[in-house]
Amino acid sequence: MVMLAACMFPISNFKVPTEHINSGTGRYSVKKELIMDEFDEGMDEPLLCTGSYIRHLGSEGTVEVEVVAAPRRTCGTFGGDLLEDAADGRRQFETSTMEPCEVEITLPQNYVPGQRVRVKGPHGFLSTRTPAGANLLPGSRQRVRFGPLPEFRVEVPPGVSPWSELKFAKEDGTEVSVTVPQDVTPGSFFDVAPPALMVQVPKFAMPGDLVIFSAEVNCGSGQVTSWFRAQVPQGFHEEEYFPARIPEPERAALRALDTTSYIRYLGSEGTVDAEVLATPRRTRSIFGEDLLEHAADGRRQLKSVATSPCELEITLPLNYVPGQRVHAKGPHGFMSAPTPANPNLLPGSRQRVRLAPLPEFRVEVPPGVSPWS
């Protein structure tokens, strides 16, 4: 279960946390959805929350992403990490991200309300906008939030205390878990934001361009690095950050490889397709075989056994001929196994025989991919 926790720190000590993603308002978790803390096994099940307590505010301003393969760089242009163009011809840039947070900035002495302010951030300088019309004084220190807009407004149900877990289902069936903040009581409201990262618009990128970034995602097999792509939304410029929703781990952990670049299909020759059917009915046993009822088309049906793909060690008979089939003891009694048509195999020698299907794909390891990814 993903946990989104608040984080606030001054820009002078700017440090992007690595264990939590800030929602900025409430604590919002989507089942199996990012690199957040797991609930303790002994923790009570979250309370079910019906739709009467949940109001969907929309997801305006949060950009959807797609899972992509690790990018291939072509060249750097004036300091920008320019990648190969997308299939539709749009430019692609590699970029950096940070977790939602609040930063403290000092307004310049010539500050004008609504002016963009440039300050030092985790990836060099960042550009941020200040509220238009606010009574902000030049030289004053202000907090600016970098994060997505709230997606839900939750009314605290009767009998629910702070730090309780509420869960509900979205329209698409996704299970959402919300942690009740400390300073709310039954009948009051709090907002929650979606799981997202703040994506930087790199140098020379413009609205409509594509940006690619990586993120660590937890899945069943552990933490993996996944790559995502988003389109720079209208109104955002160099050094600004926009929120991008990170998908659930099952989808985020998939490495969407470019089949023409990294994958070669070898075929499925020799591998038989099976069909799912009901439990068979036996009719009689003939010569030790489990004979079943005939199939609908009249063909005989026999019950058999199966084993996982494996390697076995066999001893070649003294009268062995290259390519001969050899009988050896297997997991379900004696079995027959073919041997390689290799004239250098000696009678009486021990050989390893692989019982498995032929390879179906050949994969080139993409750039930036490590073992066990």
The pLDDT, as a whole number, for residue 229 is: 92
pLDDT tens-digit profile of 148-190? 999 989 888 888 888 888 888 777 777 788 888 888 889 899 9
Position 73 scores a pLDDT of 64
Distances (CA, A) of 105 to 135, 137, 147, 243: 15, 12, 16, 20
Cα separation, 303 vs 285, in Å, equals 11
Show Cβ contacts of residue 209 under 8 Å, excluding neighbours closer than 6 positions.
90, 91, 92, 93, 231, 232
If you search the block for the tokens 């430019």, which residue do you land on? Answer: 91
For the cut 90, the answer to whether the pLDDT of residue 51 exceeds it is: no
Query: Per residue, what are the HEC states of 193-240?
Result: CCCEEEEECCCCCCCCCEEEEEEEEEECCEEEEEEEEEECCCCCCCCC
Residue type, 202: P
Tell me the per-residue pLDDT of 103-113, one tens digit each, with 9 for 90 and over.
Answer: 888 888 888 88
Residue linked to tokens 């509900």: 168
Name the average pLDDT for the chain: 75
* 191 or 372, higher pLDDT: 191
The DSSP bridge partners found for residue 104 are 143
User: What's the pLDDT score for residue 34?
Assistant: 29
Look at residue 9 in the predicted model and tell me its pLDDT: 31
Q: Which among 99, 106, 134 is positioned nearest to 120, based on CA atoms?
A: 106
| Residue 312 Cα distances to 283, 316, 343, angstroms | 35, 12, 20
Is pLDDT larger for residue 10 or for residue 289?
Answer: 289
Order of strands, sheet of 175-179, starting from the edge strand that comes earlier in the sequence: 27-30, 175-179, 165-169, 47-48
What is the reported pLDDT for 39?
30
* Rounded CA separation 248/220 (Å): 12
pTM: 0.57
- Report yes or no: 139 and 106 within 8 Å, Cβ to Cβ: yes
**Residue 259 pLDDT exceeds 80:** no
| Cα 181 from Cα 178, distance rounded (Å) | 9
Give the DSSP H or E segment for 158: none
- Compare 82 and 6 and report the one with higher pLDDT: 82
Q: Is 66 exposed, middle or buried (0-12, 13-18, 19+ CB in 10 A)?
A: middle
Residue in this structure with the two tokens 């930036």, named with its chain if needed: 368
pLDDT of amino acid 197: 93
Higher-confidence residue of 78 and 123: namely 123
Q: Do 199 and 95 meet the contact criterion of CB atoms below 8 Å apart?
A: yes
Separation of alpha carbons 89 and 321, rounded Å? 60
Phi-psi region of 52 (alpha: psi -120 to 50; beta: other; left: phi over 0): alpha
